[in-house]
Chain A
C-alpha cells in the first residue's frame, strides 16, 4: 500500500478519539479491590489495637512505607501512559522509601539478639502473609494492565513493573491493617517478598501486554 493511500484512509477516521479515561480507570481499579476488601472485612478484620499503633514509629512505618510505594509507583505507571513523559519520570522517591525500609530492617537486625533471630524472621503468620499480599495484589494488577493498555508506554516493562509494585504495595498496606507482626525483620522481609512477586508479575505482564 502506498503511504498516500494509507493517509487518505486514516484521514477518513478523524473523530474525537476516546480519551485515556483516567477516572474510569481509577474506578475500575477500585472495583478490582472489592474482592480483597470483602475478603478482608469478612475473614480477616482490623487488628484490635489499630488506631493506637499508628502512634509508635515502627508500626507507623509498617503502614507508611507500603503506602508511599503505592502512591509513587502508581503515579509513575499512570504517567508512563503518555509517550514523551518517560524521560520526565523521576523514580528517586522510590529509592528513598527503599532506603528507609532497608535502614529500619538493619536497625532491627542489629538490636535483635542472635538467639531470637529465627523467631523474629518466621513470626507466627508467615504462610498467611506470604499468600495474602501477592493474591490481593493480583486483582488490581489485572485491571491495571487493562487500563494501561489504553495508553502508549514507550517503556512497557517499566510500566508493568511500576504497576506490579503499586499493586503489591497496596496489598501490603491493606494487609498491615490486620497483621500483628510488628518486628521489621518480619514485615519488611515478607511484605517485601510479596511485593517483589507482584512486581515480577507486573514486569512480565508489561512485556507481553503493554507493547503496542
Chain B
C-alpha cells in the first residue's frame, strides 16, 4: 500500500462525504482487499466463509463511523484502528458463542421440549411411508418420550417386539428423509445461484 493509495482513498472518502456515490464505491472497493488481508491474518483460525462475514462487518463499521475521520488527518491509521477493533470484536463474539455455559439456556431448552408444529408436520409426512402400528410407536417415542415398556403395554406387544418394530421404522424413516433432503438440497443450491 503506497502513499498513492493513501491520497487516493482520502480523496475518494472526502468526495463520498459530499454525496458522491461512485467515489464511495471506489473507496470501499479499494479498502476491501486490505481489510480482507488483515482479517485473514488475525482470524486465521476461522473458516473462509467467516472471513467474508467479518470483512462485511468491518465495512459496515467504516460506514457507520465514517464521521469520526477528520478529513485533514491521515486515513490509514483511522482505517486500521477500526478494522483491528472490529476484527477483535468479531473474534470475541464468535469465541464466546462456543463457550457459553448451557445453564444460561436452561429455560430455552426446556421451552423447546414441546413438539413444534413444523416438527409435527414433517414427522406426519415421513410417517406416511410406514405401517400404522410402527407409526404409533415412533410417535409415542419421539413426540411423547414414552419408553418401550409403556408402549408395549399400550399396544399389548412384548418389549422386544416394540424395539424391533421401532428400529425397522426408523430405518425406513431415515431412508425416506435422506431422499427428501437431497431434493431439498437441490432447491437450496438453485436458490443460492439466484441470489
**Contact assessment for B63 and A10 in the assembled complex, using a CB-CB cutoff below 8 Å:** yes
- Of the stretches A80-88, A114-122, A179-187, the one at the interface is A80-88
Interface residues of B in 55-81 (CB under 8 A from A): 55-56, 59-61, 63-70, 77-78, 80-81
Q: Which residues from chain B contact A14 at a C-beta distance below 8 Å?
A: 16-17, 19-21, 23-24
Q: Is A152 an interface residue (CB 8 A)?
A: yes
Instruction: Looking at the assembled complex, report how far the CB atom of B192 sits from the nearest CB atom of chain A, in whole angstroms.
Output: 11
Which residue numbers of B lie inside 8 Å of A, CB to CB? 16-25, 28-29, 32, 52, 55-56, 59-61, 63-70, 77-78, 80-82, 84-85, 89
Main secondary structure of the interface of B (DSSP, over half): helix
Q: Which of A8, A81, A84, A150 touches B78 (beta carbons < 8 Å)?
A: A84
Interface residues of A, count at CB 8 A: 27
**Contact assessment for A16 and B85 in the assembled complex, using a CB-CB cutoff below 8 Å:** no
Q: CA–CA, A180 to B81, complex, Å? A: 47
Question: Which residue from chain A places its CB closest to the CB of B35 in the assembled complex?
Answer: A3
With A3-B55, A10-B59 known to touch, is A83 a contact of B25 (CB < 8 Å)?
no
Q: CA–CA, A7 to B80, complex, Å? A: 18
**Contact assessment for B28 and A20 in the assembled complex, using a CB-CB cutoff below 8 Å:** no
Q: Which residues from chain A contact B85 at a C-beta distance below 8 Å?
A: 83, 152, 154
With A3-B55, A16-B19, A82-B78 known to touch, is A11 a contact of B61 (CB < 8 Å)?
no
**Contact assessment for B59 and A13 in the assembled complex, using a CB-CB cutoff below 8 Å:** no
Q: Which residues from chain B contact A212 at a C-beta distance below 8 Å?
A: 61, 64-65
Q: Which residues from chain B contact A1 at a C-beta distance below 8 Å?
A: 56
Q: Which of B28, B66, B78 touches A7 (beta carbons < 8 Å)?
A: B28
What 15 additional pairs, Cβ within 8 angstroms, besides A6-B60, A11-B25?
Answer: A3-B32, A3-B55, A10-B59, A11-B16, A11-B24, A12-B21, A13-B63, A14-B17, A15-B17, A16-B17, A19-B67, A20-B67, A20-B68, A154-B85, A212-B64
Q: CA–CA, A129 to B61, complex, Å? A: 43
Q: CA–CA, A212 to B60, complex, Å? A: 11
**Contact assessment for A10 and B28 in the assembled complex, using a CB-CB cutoff below 8 Å:** yes
**Binary flags per residue of A16-49, CB closer than 8 Å to B gives 1, else 0:** 1111100000000000000000000000000000
Enumerate 26 A-B pairs (CB-CB under 8 Å) in ascending A order: A3-B32, A3-B55, A6-B56, A6-B59, A7-B59, A10-B28, A10-B60, A13-B63, A14-B20, A14-B21, A14-B23, A15-B17, A16-B18, A17-B67, A81-B68, A82-B78, A83-B65, A83-B68, A83-B78, A84-B78, A84-B81, A151-B68, A152-B61, A152-B85, A154-B81, A212-B64
